[in-house]
Structure 1
Amino acid sequence: MPNPSSQLREELRAEPGTSTQRLVPGLVSIAKSVRQLMALKLAPIDVLVGQDQLLGVLDAEHAKSVLDIATELSVRPSTVSKMLDQVGKKGWTLRQGDQDDRRKTLVRLTPDGVKVQESVRAVWKRLEDDLVEALGDQSVDIVDNLGSLDSILTKRLSRLR
């Protein structure tokens, strides 16, 4: 009986358009599952999916511009502004004008935001630990392959923007 992963490798190496097209649907399914799982894990700390990533790139000591945050998260500045409205109402972030460039808005975490950020990172770590345990030795190869795939997708996406 053929090994399913060997069979998939062969299908993916076939002529373009002749594979059973399982890579992209698989990645989409994984992305959806991760978002749903994160939503469930973040709900007890009142954080929405997406807000966790925003909180992950901020800190209390060094303010970042909305544009820098958007670039880091690979989203539009308007998306960051909407997210900042939500987390700002919860008291997790503080916006201030840049004294050197009045067109810029700078953002930093409040002390409450730092506490929530620590909780988010704890959720991420628990989920990562659970997945690594479930995957066993495969986790190293998966992380390496995901890193390569991320790099490829980032380059292609940057060409399209």
Structure 2
Amino acid sequence: MSIKDSLGYVITNTGRKLTQQLTLKFQPFGITSEQWAVLHWLTEEDGITQRELSRRTEKDPTNVTRILDQLEKKGWILRGANGEDRRSFLIFVTESGRELSQELLPIEAQFTRNMVQSLADEDIAILRRALSTINDHLNNPR
């Protein structure tokens, strides 16, 4: 079997290309697609710990630390003291971070629409269900 016939390869290769293309769209704003995803999660609810953010985004804590360092350096988030646990910080989105996230939201939405424009609505629903099922299985292997 050729590697190109491997479903794992197809999923990984497609995901990598999607990430690269979206990052190119975000490049004029000085943010990667991965950084934007974390920032956008925080705009939905900030004031959470890095551990909680890692759990919600399903990202490795070390990777989240690296992303947060970049977001903080660019002034889009702040880390504040956690009154319940002195070993951790609470993460807050700055006004400029909130504005950037909202500015990029329609760009990401249009990118996604373009990505699936050749698929029927039914195929999109099937793809979403299939990928969600795979993700759920990976989170909870039997």
Shorter-chain TM-score bucket reads 0.7 to 0.9
**Corresponding residue SS for 2:68:** helix
Quick one: structure 1 residues 157 and 61, their matched pair in 2 at CA, closer, same or farther if it must change by over 3 Å?
A: closer
Provide the rounded CA distance (Å) in 1 between the counterparts of 2:46 and 2:138.
31
Provide the rounded CA distance (Å) in 1 between the counterparts of 2:98 and 2:36.
12
Quick one: structure 1 residues 106 and 44, their matched pair in 2 at CA, closer, same or farther if it must change by over 3 Å?
A: same
1:158: Cα distance to partner?
Answer: 4.0
Confirm or deny that 1:113 pairs with 2:111. no
**Correspondence for 2:53 among 60, 63, 69:** 69
- Paired letter, 1:44: P
The structure with the larger Rg is 1
Provide the rounded CA distance (Å) in 2 between the counterparts of 1:85 and 1:71.
18
2:118 alignment counterpart: 135
Q: How far does the alpha carbon of each residue in 1:7-61 deviate from its partner, in whole angstroms, 9 at most, with x for none?
A: xxxxxxxxxx8xx844222212211210111111110111113101111100286
Unaligned residue ranges in structure 2 (runs of 5+): none
- Of stretches 151-160 and 110-119 in structure 1, the one that deviates more from structure 2 is 151-160
Confirm or deny that 1:31 pairs with 2:15. yes
Q: How far does the alpha carbon of each residue in 1:55-90 deviate from its partner, in whole angstroms, 9 at most, with x for none?
A: 110028641110011111212222211111111011
Unaligned residue ranges in structure 1 (runs of 5+): 1-16
2:41 alignment counterpart: 57
Identity of aligned residues (%): 22
RMSD, aligned α-carbons:
2.3
**Corresponding residue SS for 1:95:** strand
Provide the rounded CA distance (Å) in 1 between the counterparts of 2:45 and 2:38.
16
Give the alignment's TM-score, normalised by structure 2.
0.84
2:127 alignment counterpart: 145
Question: How many residues matched?
Answer: 140
Quick one: structure 1 residues 157 and 21, their matched pair in 2 at CA, closer, same or farther if it must change by over 3 Å?
A: farther
1:100: Cα distance to partner?
Answer: 1.8
